[in-house]
Amino acid sequence: MAHSPKRKLFLDLVLSLFRLNGLLVAEGDQMAEALGLTSARWKVIGVVALANSGVTVPGIARVLGQSRQAVQRITDVMEKDGLLRYQENPDHKRSVLVCLTDEGQNVYTALRAVQDPWAIENTEDVPVEELEIGLQLVRRLIHKFDR
C-alpha cells in the first residue's frame, strides 16, 4: 500500500475516534452526574440554552445530527423533570418550542461552572494550532459524510 500512506492513517483515525467518543460520553456522564444529568441531556440542554428563543425538537436533532425520535425522548424526560418547558409555537400547530425553565437555567449555569474548567484543563498542554487543525479536519469529514 505504498501509494497511499493516508489509508492506514485514516483508518487509525477512525478507530481512535470511536474510542475517543466513548471516553467523551463517559466524561460527560461524570461531569453531569452531580447535577442529575447524563451526557445525552447535557447535549440537549446545551443546544436549548444557546438558542435564546425556543427551538423545536427536530431542530435540536438537526443541530446534534441525531434522529428527532432520540431527542424527543430526552426532552420528554427533561420536561417531566422540570428542566424544560414546552411552549406553543405560533408558526406551527403541532411542533412546540422547547425552552429552559428557571430550574433548567440554573442547572445549565451550574453545568458551565464544571464544563468550562474541564475544557480549559484539557487543552492546557495542547497547542492552539493543533486544536484548530483538528477541528478543521473534523468539520471537513462531517461535511463529507453529511449528505
Partner DNA sequence: GTGTAAATGACAACATGCTGCTTAATGTCT
Partner DNA sequence: AGACATTAAGCAGCATGTTGTCATTTACAC
| DSSP letter for each residue of 5-42 | HHHHHHHHHHHHHHHHHHHHHHHHHHHHHTTT--HHHH
- Three cell numbers, residue 24: 467523551
Restricting to residues 33-52, which ones interact with a copy of itself according to CB under 8 A? Answer: 43, 46
Alpha helices in 51-101 (DSSP H): 57-64, 68-80
In this chain, which of 3, 80, 93, 147 binds DNA, going by CB under 7 A?
93
Residue with cell 497511499: 4
In this chain, which of 69, 88, 106, 142 binds a copy of itself, going by CB under 8 A?
142
**CB of 26: closest distance to DNA in angstroms?**
6
Binding of DNA by 114 (CB under 7 A): no
- Residues 6 or more apart whose Cβ sits within 8 Å of residue 81: 36
Restricting to residues 8-47, which ones interact with DNA according to CB under 7 A? Answer: 22, 26, 38-41, 43
Binding of DNA by 73 (CB under 7 A): yes
The residues of the shown chain that bind DNA, judged by CB under 7 A, are 22, 26, 38-41, 43, 56-59, 65-74, 77, 91-96
